[in-house]
Structure 1
Amino acid sequence: MPVAETDGPPGAVLAGETLRKLSYHVSYVADPVTCNVLRACLKSIAADDHCVHEFYARHDEEEQIAEAHRLINLLKPKAMIAGELCSRSWNDGIRHNMKGKNINDWNPPVDEMLVQFKGRGIIIAVGDGGNEAGMANLKDNIPLASDGKTIMASGVYSDIPVTSWNSNLGLQAVASIAAAIESRFELIPTADQVIKTIEAALDAGAVEGVTQGKQENSLNGSYATRGVDGFAPYVHAADQDKLKSTLIQMKIKAML
């Protein structure tokens, strides 16, 4: 049964709600499983969850293109921000994880949204491994999967690819920078919100990506089984605090 990871939905929600407070019209699009996690994250920070839209399509070219067009025509976006969105490989069109395994069955073709929107507006994409939608711009610098042979690099392009050690932080950074440019530092996501959204994602069934939530995968406790990418929520909260402090200093020094 497909499950969502804790990297992606929390950051998407914190970025989206920051942008909404900056007067952008924001909608969220994901597969049905991830949409449930997005709704939980939104509720955790007392945000409206009626802006979540489910992408329904199998891995069928005609079907996924039609679904992408349906949502684009419905929402009429001027821009798209994608984060930790699993992408087809440029080499074989299959979605591979960092180990090189075929994960098409776990990931509906939501990346078709970016393919069909390309050229219609700005696409910002956030990734941390290179197999995410929007990272094809960087494919020549993306390594093979950990099996040493599988090309996992994305085949879906963006206008602005953003790399980050985890995609939640990258998504939060995009919106935090937008708020800082407008000197609206009070709108930058807080450490408390980071913890709330990660905990909400976990409670909604999302799993930590490195260990899959299993103690036997934690390398004797080296990795947190309840967190994001091997680290507990408080670590990610501290990163967000550091990001905000950095942006304040950049604004003071006229670097924004």
Structure 2
Amino acid sequence: MSLFRLDNKVAVVTGAGSGIGQAIAKCFAEQGAFVHIIELNEDGGKGTVADIIAAGGKAKAHGCNVAQQADVIKTIDNIQADAGRIDILVNCAGIAHIGKLETTAEADFDRVFSVNVKGTYNCMYAAIKHMKQQGGGVILNIASIASTVGIPDRFAYSMSKGAVLTMTLSVAKDYIHDNIRCNCVSPARVHTPFVDGFLQKNYPDNVQEMFEKLSKTQPIGRMAKPEEVGWLALYLCSEQAGFITGCDYPIDGGFIKLNN
């Protein structure tokens, strides 16, 4: 058996138009999976698909807003009907918000909740019936170190990722006898296009200085590469991780344990 291969597996990855989701989708495709990308930004999803196909992989993009349950159910049902099964679901679609309690407006709170929490719920809700019917599957949710430690000015975001963590534990417990594993990954800062855009928008005069400052909040001295999260996701969704369920895996450059 080749380690971490996903040959003949059907994987669904949300938010794979860029960043972590894109890295996971490409990694899975490289290891033999047929990857179905669910992405609000349909052009971004198609771009990832084009990259995968150009590299010899198999993928298809589906435009869908994960916050809308009816659309999610229709999309995932269509994927299952087309592919015959859904072996892996990775919930990576998410948005951020900067602000503490008193600077988080109700509209901002609802927006973060609808994508990060309800979106994850919607995708699991739509996929779980298919996984039960086929005799098993794997769900991986992308949480954050904000699930378990305090991050300044991230009230709504931390709330949402805390919910992702506890939903993961609940699903792992409820479906363990259906041969469905459910885990989550909690990254610290990852160098994605979102980070570059955030710095350019908020610190246009000292982008490099702020990049270095944010990088050094991880004791290892840098941000993670999206591919590093992808490799961890690959292991957790592979058959070699068959004994792992109900776990949260920080990938944080020492942030949680070494920031003393």
Q: Normalising by structure 2, what TM-score? A: 0.48
Q: Kindly indicate whether structure 1 or structure 2 has the higher relative contact order, using CA contacts under 8 Å at least 6 residues apart.
A: 1
More strand, by proportion? 2
More helix, by proportion? 2
